Amino acid sequence: MGWLKRNLFFAIGVVVAIGLLGAAGFYDYASWGHNQAAFAHLNEVYTKLKDLSNKKPSPGGGQVDNIAAANEQRTKLEAWVGQTRNYFQPIDPIPKPANGPVTDPLFAGTLHRTLAQLQHDAGAANVVLPPECAFSFSAYVAGAAATGDRLTFAPGSPGPLSVQLGEVKAISEVLFGAGINTLDGIQRFRVSPDDAGGPLTDYLDDQPVTNDLGILAPYQATFRAFSPEIARALEGFASSPHGFIVKTINVQPAASTGVSPAGVNPAEAALYALGRPSSTVALAAPVPGRGGLQTVLDEQLLSVTLKVEVVKLTPRN
C-alpha cells in the first residue's frame, strides 16, 4: 500500500493506459470487421459492374447512359412502326358484314356481283380478259352454274374466301389502273376444301407465312403489257396504301395473238397485232437513198408473271 500511495499517479496512469489500449483494440477489431464487410460489398459491386460492362449493349457509365439511350430509341422505333402502318392498311374482305360471320348466301351473291364488277372495270380500262374469267374463283362459278346460283360452301370457308376476294380485287384494280393490255390470270392459295375442285391454273402451291409482325399472303398475276404499263403496275403496288410486296417478276416476249383491246380503232388494232402500240411508234421522213419509212422505236409486247405478297400486320395490343 505504501508503494501505491507513493506512486498513485503512476498507477492511475497505468490503469488508464490499459483501458485506452483495450478501447483501441476493440475499435481496431470493429473497424477491421467493418472494412471486411465494405471490401466484400465493393467486390460485389465491381463484379456486377464488370458483368454489365461485358453485356451487349453495355449500360455505359458517367455521362453515357446506354439504357436511357436504348429506351429513347425504342420509343422512336415504336413511333416509326406506328407511322408505317399507314402504308399497310388492311384490305376489307368482300363482303364485310357488320355483325356476325359471312354466310353462304351472302358470299355467293357478293362473289357474282364482284366478279361482274371486275369484268366491267377491265372492259372500261381496255384490258382483255380470258373467256369467262373468274379471277381464280372458277370452282365457285362452275358450281353456281350447276346449282342455279344456289351455292353452298365447306364449313368455315366463306370467311377466308371473302378475304381473298377482297385481296384479288385490290390486285386487279392496280393492274387495271396501270393500263395493262391483257390479264391472263390470277392465282391464289387454297383456303377451302372446295378449292380442290377448281382448275390448277387458279392456285399456287405456296402458303402464307406468319411471323411476329403479321401474315404474308402470296398471289400471282400473269398479264401482257408493254414496258411503260409494267412500270406503272410496279409503281401502283409500291404506292398503294395496302401492304403489297412484289417478290418476283418474270418478263419475256409475248406471242402475238392478233387480239386488240375493245375500243381501239382499226389502225391501232393493226399495230397491236404486230406487237407495237401506236403510242410508241414514231415515223420520220424518208432517209435519202432508202425507200420506205424509218422506225424510231419498235417495242414488243411482253408477257409478265408477277408474284406479289399481301402483308397483313398483326393487330397491336
In this prediction the pTM is 0.65
From the candidate CATH numbers 1.10.150.120, 3.40.50.10490, 3.30.70.60, 3.40.50.2300, the one assigned to the domain spanning 87-258+297-313: 3.30.70.60
Please give the single-letter amino acid code of residue 172.
S
Q: Which of 95, 96, 98, 127 is nearest to 114 (CA)?
A: 95
| 29 or 253, which is more confident | 253
For residue 40, name the pLDDT band (cuts at 50, 70, 90). Answer: confident
For residue 84, name the pLDDT band (cuts at 50, 70, 90). Answer: low
Q: Which residue has the cell 437513198?
A: 289
pLDDT in tens, 52-63: 666 666 666 666
How far from 98 is each of 77, 92, 102, 168, CA to CA, in Å?
A: 34, 12, 10, 21
Please give the single-letter amino acid code of residue 81.
V
Measure the CA angle with vertex 298, ends 261 and 295; round to 5°: 120
Domain positions in the chain: 87-258+297-313
Q: Which of 304, 114, 122 is nearest to 221 (CA)?
A: 304
pLDDT in tens, 69-79: 778 888 887 77
The set of residues, in sequence order, having a beta carbon less than 8 Å from that of 215 and lying 6+ positions away, is 208, 209, 311, 312, 314
Residue 223 in contact with residue 304, Cβ under 8 Å?
A: yes
Residue 265 in contact with residue 312, Cβ under 8 Å?
A: no
Q: Check whether 227 has a pLDDT greater than 90.
A: yes
Mean pLDDT, the chain, integer: 79
The pLDDT of residue 52? 65
pLDDT in tens, 249-270: 999 998 755 444 444 444 444 4
